[in-house]
Structure 1
Amino acid sequence: MSYVDPDPTMEAEMTPSTPAPTKWIAGRWRYSLVAAILAGTVAMVSWSVVGPWRLTAGAETETPIPPGSPVTASSTEGSHWSPSAAPGTPDPGTPKPGTPGPSSSHGDHGPGPGDYVLADPPVTGVVPSRANPPRKAHREFQANCAVSHRKSDDPIVFPNQAGASHNHTFMGNTTTDAASTTESLLAGGTLCRVPGDRSGYWMPTVFDGDTAVLPVGPQVIYYKSGVRDYTSVRPFPVGLRFLVGSPTTTAAQFAASPAYQKGWECGDSYDNVDFPATCPAGTQLNIRMQAPSCWDGRHLDTPDHVSHMVYPVDGVCPDSHPVAVPMIEFKMAFPVSGDMSQVELASGRGFSFHYDFYNAWETPVLAALVTHCINAGRQCDARGYSQFDPAAGAALDETYQLPGSRTALNRAGWTAGSSLSGDAAGPARMLDGDPGTRWTSGAPMTRGMAIMVDMAAVRPVSQIALRSTGADHPRAYEVYLSTDGVSWTGPVASGPGVSELTVASFDQRSARYIRVAQTGSSTSWWSISEFVVYD
């Protein structure tokens, strides 16, 4: 079973931008450098249980690699990645983690002085906390982000080199590509549930044969405490970016990595280093993987894209990387089951799984969630609400924004209509303040359905929020504005709808009329229980 996106408006983005052969890796040497650094990192990190090497049935037997040994790529490579020349080994001039070294020349893609991105200002004077606050079972919140597109780009490893990477599945920010910068991400749209999270999250695309298998709906990306003293965790600095794992990792290295969390899972099968041979029909292929959470406080990026971040040792950050930041944990679900013999990653075998993170959170929003959830030892959802501590409330409001950050306009005197004939009374239910009532299309979603709201007077607007029920959210949408109901500006915002709350933000403009066009298709009806506009 392979996922086929039901929304034709996303077809161009969800379809590989190049023919199949060019989905392969164009520059594996650089990923090999990352793997070399990771091997040294694994040697320095302690964790509770390593156990026997965890290999799936049918995989070749591997001898555990002694700590610090050179990293080599797997000898068996998938059809979606090209067999490169001899796998890279650590470059003699490669700096140790956290220690800038002299520039080296590796052709056009090689690391150089320009690859060091300095934090401005740096975080200095931090001493790793060895405190033991009261034990809390969970210190976390979720970032629920959906897939936006696929590209053979990687703005961290191959900046400004479109098509240079293996194929990636991008989540969160809708604009992420080879040319992405901190500024462009902050200005982009997002498919994360929290509008203030415009971060880029990406991973190698999963293929079943030649068919891309894409996660459906918002995926779970945990933000946790990776250190014992969860009160010491602070937000990521804007622009921080790093890799977790490496496509050149061997099965043994993947299993021994502190990033490893039960490997690939489906049905009752778990702890698989490579893809299981089969998965029960109707199940999903799942994986969890944890990121390092100790930052050196000086660099937003380093030439190997990993040296500025390391894992805690026995729950404490090392002196070289004293700043405790959230530990990201990917929890991905891929809709594929049955015979898994044709399933592979764009980067190769299952143990080549890795992911990238480029932080573009609005700082106050991230800080509120870190303080309310991680520092307070709560288990929170994407709003920062803990069902185990309801009296504490949530960090964010019902539109997943900071309370008071925007003002909802008074809807007294507003009217609404729809493009559907014989639907005169229904649209008013979007404006009645009762979430128990709703307007509904009364028919499956098709491109061209639209609703229009007359705000009775021209006023400044910068955001709308549509609340639906269940699967009745728009599959895709475009927002248009007008001062007279005749001449329209837009679309001022557009994108796919992925959950019961659709929030569209745009530069503040003056408007009296707002039109939302439904541009996707679904067998579900389109419904809106509340239509809210913000200044």
Structure 2
Amino acid sequence: MLWTTSLLAAAVALLPGAGVNAAGTTLRFSCAQLVVERLDPIVNPGVVASPHLHQVVGGNSFNASMDHDVPSASSCTSCTPVDDFSNYWTATLFFKAKNGTYKRVATKGNPLGYSASNGGQTVYYLSSGKVTAFKPGFRMTVGDPSFRTAKEIAKYKMLTFTCLQTSSTRDGATTNFPKGQCKVGIMVSVRFPTCWDGVNLDSPDHQSHTAYPSGSACPSTHPVSIPQVFYETIWDTTPFNDKSLWPDDGSQPFVWSFGDKTGYGNHADYVFGWKGDTLQKAMDSGCSSDLFSNDIKCPAVKVQTIEQTNKCKKDVMVNDKLDGWLTELLVVSW
């Protein structure tokens, strides 16, 4: 099976109406690294610093409190669509050497079309038919940083790790950290729910206002089909493929910034920030994207170059020492 076919088949597997003969949209684009720091305006609004470190892409109005109008407050975006000032973030990955010290793992541009990107992640908006775009103020999370078992992560089957032996490896995905060395890096995939209750822009747990479809349809409690937001983050683990640095027992040495060595605590956050009705127009028009270049076939979406996205940065508010080898992770207990 061709890689492009298998990727798209997997991507739409949990979309409402998947499998029916309906017009769909595949909006795929690159977002360069905006900032790496300990802020989480969804789970810990207003708190400086948040319990653990995050890597963030999108609009440069990202802050400890996202209570502002995101598009108007941002002067640039690290994503290629110029009207997308949303923020997308995940935890940060670290390598733990056998001597007990930690080194932050950098993200890198997706080698399938976005290798020029200064890290960050690939973002998708997918649909298999008619969907309702998010409203201003909408936000959501997926996953749970407290999870440490396969039984717990079964709730979120669409959070996976792929050990990249080549840039196009897309098989062998697991819900835990890969056990062996990955020649190209570790790709972390996160697919958010595709059904909304139609009322709440957020919920106390930041998840209950959304749901995954039941079969091919949204449940009655969450009747509104929304685009599937889908992240691919490629962590450049290649500098750590020296086996002499790994634990003597052969166990995998990677750990999330909140102290999880299993990978089951994988999670991600999203704050909507598209300007005007651009996203709705894009989803209505059945846009498509070239899987191997920065080419979005969508009149509703204006695109900047990857070189331009690399220039969009945000000043760090929490000045943790992130470079070099660390003796411990800066983590506040959950």
- Provide TM-score, normalisation by structure 2: 0.70
> Cα offset for 1:343?
1.6
Change in Cα spacing, 1:223 to 1:259, as seen in structure 2 (3 Å) is farther
**2:177 alignment partner, one of 246, 250, 275:** 275
Distance 1:135 1:351 in 2: 34
Paired residue total:
268
Structure 2 partner of 1:208 = 95
Structure 2 partner of 1:395 = 299
Structure 1 partner of 2:187 = 286
The secondary structure found in structure 2 opposite 1:270 is coil
Change in Cα spacing, 1:172 to 1:222, as seen in structure 2 (3 Å) is same
> Cα offset for 1:330?
1.2
Change in Cα spacing, 1:364 to 1:383, as seen in structure 2 (3 Å) is farther
**1:363 alignment partner, one of 276, 286, 297:** 276
Structure 2 residue 246 is the aligned partner of structure 1 residue 246: no
Structure 2 residue 164 is the aligned partner of structure 1 residue 266: yes
Change in Cα spacing, 1:134 to 1:279, as seen in structure 2 (3 Å) is same
The secondary structure found in structure 2 opposite 1:223 is strand
Distance 2:296 2:152 in 1: 32
Distance 1:166 1:373 in 2: 38
Q: Look at both structures and tell me which one has the larger radius of gyration over its CA atoms.
A: 1
Q: Which runs of 5+ in 2 are unaligned?
A: 1-12, 97-101, 109-116, 247-251, 315-334
Structure 2 residue 255 is the aligned partner of structure 1 residue 344: yes
Q: Percent identity?
A: 23
Structure 2 residue 192 is the aligned partner of structure 1 residue 300: no
In structure 2, give the amino acid aligned to 1:241. R
Moved more, 144-153 or 154-163: 144-153
Structure 2 partner of 1:142 = 28
Change in Cα spacing, 1:254 to 1:336, as seen in structure 2 (3 Å) is farther
Q: Deviations over 1:57-101 (max 9, x none)?
A: xxxxxxxxxxxxxxxxxxxxxxxxxxxxxxxxxxxxxxxxxxxxx
Q: Deviations over 1:496-515 (max 9, x none)?
A: 9xxxxxxxxxxxxxxxxxxx
Higher strand share: 1
> Cα offset for 1:145?
1.0
Structure 1 partner of 2:318 = none
Q: Which runs of 5+ in 1 are unaligned?
A: 1-47, 50-128, 386-393, 401-464, 478-493, 497-535
> Cα offset for 1:135?
5.5
Distance 1:328 1:146 in 2: 17
Q: Say which structure, 1 or 2, has more relative contact order (CA 8 Å, 6+ apart).
A: 2
- Provide TM-score, normalisation by structure 1: 0.45
TM alignment of 1:172-191, pairs within 5 A: 172-184=58-70, 186-188=72-74, 189-191=76-78
Change in Cα spacing, 1:312 to 1:475, as seen in structure 2 (3 Å) is closer
Structure 2 partner of 1:104 = none
Q: CA RMSD in A?
A: 3.1
Distance 2:285 2:82 in 1: 18
Structure 2 partner of 1:430 = none
The secondary structure found in structure 2 opposite 1:299 is coil
Distance 1:474 1:192 in 2: 9
8 Å CA contact 2:35, 2:313 repeated in 1: no
The secondary structure found in structure 2 opposite 1:271 is coil
Structure 2 residue 102 is the aligned partner of structure 1 residue 198: no
Distance 2:155 2:290 in 1: 27
Q: Deviations over 1:443-488 (max 9, x none)?
A: xxxxxxxxxxxxxxxxxxxxxx7x6xxx9x47976xxxxxxxxxxx
Change in Cα spacing, 1:365 to 1:380, as seen in structure 2 (3 Å) is farther
Change in Cα spacing, 1:130 to 1:291, as seen in structure 2 (3 Å) is closer
